[in-house]
Amino acid sequence: MKVSLVTTLGTSPPVVTEFLRYVAEAEKLPVTALVVIATKDEIVLKGLELVRAAVRYRYPSTHIRIVTLPFQDVTSQDETLEFMARFAEVLQEQRSVHRASIILLSLAGGRKDMGITAALVAQYFGVNGVYHIVMPNIKIVNEKLEAARHHIDELNEADDSLAYYGQHADIFEPIMYPPLSEYSVIKIPLIPYPTSLLKEVARLLEPGKKELRRFRISQDVVRGLQSSGLVRVTSAGTVYPLEEGLKLYEMLRRFTLA
């Protein structure tokens, strides 16, 4: 059984390794892969190197893959759509290329809007579980991170970050792997979208006008697409995808029409 974890990363590196430890030790699942999605922000990237070293140190059999978004932060609609596309690509790759039988997503890292977007996309592409991590003493965690800032900087400058991490494990390990009793992991209920419905929606959103009668889509779904500003439907049943619908189609088409 192959188990893949997918996480977003912000300025708090421990949320990634806390999730990994929870799945491996509390749920007792053999985590074969960990995918970390991060922006190009300097602080985020420094934390990313710390995550990489921490995973290699404690879970050397878990393959870690880094996906770096081409911007400093997700602050615009275009950046959100790019994040959605890259995130969907990661999920599809884990399922079809790496043959992961279970994909679990953590929403704890990064901006809140990244988490919301990731949760929505997760429903489209068959994620098996969505989780959030709550650390009651987050102030203490932030203080520990700040106290270790010098060592984090040195780890990023080291020729061998894993060796540096090991030499200073007494500093890094309590930060990156607090006891399971010190934080809570919440599983968020997830209702996946049927693949057949997604394929029909993607076909409806592709460029050009269509006749609604040729699609196996219920009226409530059509009304939802229309009220969301994704399509315009005439009284004669002709469907015209709108700008937002075309943008969504660009993401969906690669994974539902393949």
Q: Which residues of 105-144 are buried (b: 16+ CB within 10 A; e: fewer)?
A: bbbbbbeeebbebbbebbebbebebbbbbebeeeeebeeb
pLDDT of residue 86: 87
Q: What's the CA gap between 244 and 173, in Å, rounded?
A: 45
Question: What are the residues facing 241 on neighbouring strands?
Answer: 231
Give the distance from CA 230 to its chain's centroid: 24
Check pLDDT > 80 for residue 258: no
Note whether 163 and 243 are same-domain residues.
no
For the segment 86-124, what is each residue's pLDDT rounded down to a tens digit? 888 898 888 888 899 999 999 998 777 788 888 888 888
Note whether 111 and 155 are same-domain residues.
yes
pLDDT of residue 207: 95
Contact 5, 34 (CB under 8 A): yes
Note whether 146 and 199 are same-domain residues.
no
| Domain range for 240 | 195-256
Note whether 83 and 179 are same-domain residues.
yes
Helix axes 138-147, 149-157, angle to 10 degrees: 50
Note whether 217 and 170 are same-domain residues.
no
Note whether 52 and 80 are same-domain residues.
yes
The pLDDT > 90 percentage for the chain reads 65
The pLDDT-based confidence of 19 (bands split at 50, 70, 90) is: very high
The pLDDT-based confidence of 241 (bands split at 50, 70, 90) is: very high
Q: What is the spatial order of strands in the sheet that 210-211 belongs to?
A: 210-211, 238-241, 231-233
For the segment 131-170, what is each residue's pLDDT rounded down to a tens digit? 999 988 888 888 999 999 999 999 999 999 999 999 999 9
Note whether 116 and 216 are same-domain residues.
no
Count up the domains in the chain and report the number. 2
Check pLDDT > 60 for residue 257: no
pLDDT of residue 221: 92
Q: What's the CA gap between 74 and 40, in Å, rounded?
A: 10
* Domain end (from 130, 160, 188): 188
Region 63-89: what's the mean pLDDT? 86
Note whether 135 and 224 are same-domain residues.
no
pLDDT of residue 255: 63
Note whether 177 and 239 are same-domain residues.
no
pLDDT of residue 97: 85
Note whether 150 and 50 are same-domain residues.
yes
Check pLDDT > 90 for residue 256: no
The CATH number linked to 50 is 3.40.50.10770
Note whether 23 and 92 are same-domain residues.
yes
For the segment 183-236, what is each residue's pLDDT rounded down to a tens digit? 999 999 888 788 888 889 999 999 999 999 999 999 999 999 999 999 999 999
Amino acid of residue 19: F
Contact 94, 100 (CB under 8 A): yes
Note whether 215 and 119 are same-domain residues.
no
pLDDT of residue 105: 96
Helix (H) or strand (E) holding 54: helix 42-58
The position carrying tokens 């922006």 is 39
* Domain end (from 140, 160, 188): 188
Contact 4, 104 (CB under 8 A): yes
- Greater confidence (193 vs 241) lies with 241
What are residue 97's phi and psi, to 5 degrees?
Answer: -90, -50
* Domain end (from 133, 165, 188): 188
